[in-house]
Structure formats: structure tokens, C-alpha cells
A = this chain, B = another copy of it.
Amino acid sequence: MASRKLLVDIHTHVYLPRYASLLRTRTSVPFIRSSTTRDGKSEERLLILDHEPSGGRPVGPQYWDREEKLKFMDRHGIDVSVVSTANPWLDFLSASQAQILASELNDDLEQYCSTSPDVPDVSIKRLYGFGLLPLVPDITTASLLHAVDQISNLPHLRGLIMGTRGIGKGLDDEALDPVWAAIEKAGLVVFIHPHYGVDGKSWGDKDNGHVLPLALGFPFETTIATTRLILSGVLDRFPLLRLLLAHSGGALPQLSSRLASCIDHDPVVASRLKHDARYYLGKLYLDAVAYGPEELGFVSDVIARSKKFETGTSVTGSLTRSLGSQQMLFGTDHPFFPPLYSTETWKSVVENLEAINEVQGWGQSDKEGVRGGNAITLFNLTK
């Protein structure tokens, strides 16, 4: 089947025009600011982080214009993108604003996808999407369930993206249980993505641009959120929930045996979970946005070995990383990480493609799976 060879980007963002317009009306984070550069050109800069380094980053049509997304895809050979609103989503809005905007943006994204071209010779669109829930304090459960229902009825939205704050207390808040139940029942994929990092005091007082919050803060936040989900029993209570973690799960794979050991040695949690912590990593999907073949191979090892850690299992011995590759999916993080100097293809994209190609122990079909086949299965893109 032709679809086995498609390149599918599942980590690619947009600020839809309606959202970008809102950011332009604001004067505090998150916002878009117009200014004039030294050579007299006008420029827009995006500020989304508290204490944003370097005065924010320059933004342009690649952040909101669908034609730019399609051009980027063409230039990199990407057949299909599963697009998500970029952080910080609706986190900064009141409950009533978030509820309205979630509904509008979900409809906008459906339109963005449904009117996109077909992949030549294959009866699928070039664009699919992750919807948004109005996950903010004071939102009602009914509103959240309504949004899940909306997304599940929009044919080109195949999941939803969320940050790590939930409705204010994090994703381990039991108030979210009805939401997890509804998402699980609807079969939507939940893309968990960072925004806040960790306390900026950790970064010290040197100017290192965006490096520390992006390279470390982002993956730390995803790691914390997922660990809290595991510890809260969400993955025990909703075993069919399909969670997709940004940036290959952050640091969770490398810290997973340490996590298991810390749980085993702490009287507060030692008897709480159904399985060893490492079991739960096998329940997850992870993007392949880690920029190196050793990282990707290791992540696939960690997914594969999870089978050994199911309580009561008789599985022992070596489980190949080929098995683990089936839960990993190519992504670009576009339009973030543009090259510093204009180039035909983006280094950030090329590096991730090369990394997939160079993983020791992945066969050709494993690599094709990570490049697109796994996404086609996970998001049911075959029709």
C-alpha cells in the first residue's frame, strides 16, 4: 500500500489567523509586538514565555499562513501534517473566553484541513489536526466534555493538544477523570506538549538566549507532567488512553528506571500502582523529535522493554528496539527552529530525518513506520 511510504509530520504547529489576531491585541505575554528593525523594516516579534529571552522571536506568515505550511511540507517532502495550535494555547484566557475560542479554533482548524489538497494518488488530505480543549481554571466539566464531543465530530481532527496545567492543578487532578474517560472513549490522541518549563531561576544570570528553557525546560516539563500522570494512576484507570509526548518524552525514558527505583523505595507510593513505572512507557507514543539516532534508538528500547514490566507477565529476555519503533512518529516542530541563515531545507528537519535513518537496529520497515506508517495507523489516516 502506497501509504506505507508517506512522510507524516505529527509535531507541527500553527497560530491560526484568529489566534494570531488575538495575540496582536495583547500587551503582555503571550503577545505579538510590532517593531521597526535597525534597517527600517517593520517586524513582528512573538513573546510567549515569562521573561522571554532575546526580546522574543521574529515571526511571519510561516506561523499562520496555510500556504506557507504547504510550501514547507513540499520543500521537505512531507506528504501529510497533523497540525496543532502552538503553546500557550488558551491557558491565559478566562473560562468563558477559552470556551468560545476553543470552539471557534476547532472549527477553523477543521476548515484549514478539510479544504487542503489531497495527497496525490492517495485518498487522504495533506492536513489533519489536533483540536483544543478550554483547559483553564473555573471551566466546567460539561464545557470540557462538550469540546471533546465537538472535536470527535470534526472529521479532520484526530486528537487534541494540551499543555501540562490542566484546569490549574496539573494533569494529575482527579477532576479531569471524566475528561480522560471521554477522550478515551472517543479514541482521540492526546498530544502533551510543554510551555512553561521550570522556574527560570534555575537558568542563572548569564545570557544564553532561549537555549536553557527550550533545550532543558521544555523536556523537563513534559517529564514531570507524565510522571505525575503515572503516579496518579491515570494510566491505570484509562488503559486505552493514547498519549503522544512531545520531544520524545523529554527526559522520561532516561529517568524511567530511576523513577521505578524511587517508587519502590518510598513507602508513600510503593504499593500504589498496578505495574512497575517502566511498564507505562510502553503505553505511550513518542515523537521522534530528539535530533540524534542514539536518542531515538534508546527511546525505542525503553518502549520495547516495557512489556517485561507488566505485573504478572512471563515476558523476559531481550525485546528488540524494532518493536519500540512502532510507537514513535516523525515530527519537525515547524515553524519553530528556523535556520539562522536562509537555506533550502531546514537543519532541524534534516537532522531528525537523518537520525531516523541512522538508528542501529531499526530495519527499513521500522524507519518507514516512524516516518509515516505509524502515524497513518495511530490517526487512522487511511480513508
Chain B, residue nearest A318 (CB): B360
Partner of A219, one of B169, B210, B251: B251
Nearest 9 Cβ contacts at the A-B interface: A209-B268, A257-B292, A251-B251, A199-B199, A257-B291, A209-B266, A298-B298, A215-B262, A254-B254
- Cβ contact within 8 Å between B294 and A339: no
A52 shortest CB reach to chain B, Å? 13
Chain B residues within an 8 Å CB radius of A219: 251, 254-255, 258
Q: Is A205 an interface residue (CB 8 A)?
A: yes
Partner of A340, one of B267, B294, B318: B267
- Which residues in chain A, 223-270, are within 8 Å of chain B measured between CB atoms? 223-224, 227-228, 231-232, 247-248, 250-251, 253-270
Q: Is A175 an interface residue (CB 8 A)?
A: no
Chain B residues within an 8 Å CB radius of A351: 257, 261
Q: Is A49 an interface residue (CB 8 A)?
A: no
Q: Is A91 an interface residue (CB 8 A)?
A: no
Q: Is A347 an interface residue (CB 8 A)?
A: yes
Q: Is A93 an interface residue (CB 8 A)?
A: no
- Cβ contact within 8 Å between B220 and A251: yes
- Cβ contact within 8 Å between A265 and B355: no
Q: Is A334 an interface residue (CB 8 A)?
A: no
Q: Could you give, for residues 275-292 of chain A, a 1 whenever the CB lies within 8 Å of some chain B CB and a 0 otherwise?
A: 000100000000000111
Task: Give the complex CA separation of A164 and B216 in angstroms.
Answer: 16
Partner of A215, one of B169, B204, B215, B259: B259
Task: Give the complex CA separation of A360 and B269 in angstroms.
Answer: 31
Q: Is the interface of A mostly helix, strand, loop or mixed?
A: helix
- Cβ contact within 8 Å between A204 and B172: yes
Chain B, residue nearest A337 (CB): B265
Q: Is A143 an interface residue (CB 8 A)?
A: no
Q: Is A17 an interface residue (CB 8 A)?
A: no
- Cβ contact within 8 Å between B215 and A228: no
Task: Give the complex CA separation of A351 and B253 in angstroms.
Answer: 17
Q: Is A22 an interface residue (CB 8 A)?
A: no
Chain B, residue nearest A54 (CB): B268
Partner of A198, one of B202, B268, B295, B337: B202
Chain B residues within an 8 Å CB radius of A209: 266-269
Task: Give the complex CA separation of A351 and B309 in angstroms.
Answer: 14
- Cβ contact within 8 Å between B208 and A268: yes
A271 shortest CB reach to chain B, Å? 10
Known contacts A198-B199, A261-B348; A301/B294 CB under 8 A: yes
Partner of A214, one of B54, B223, B262: B262
Chain B, residue nearest A346 (CB): B265
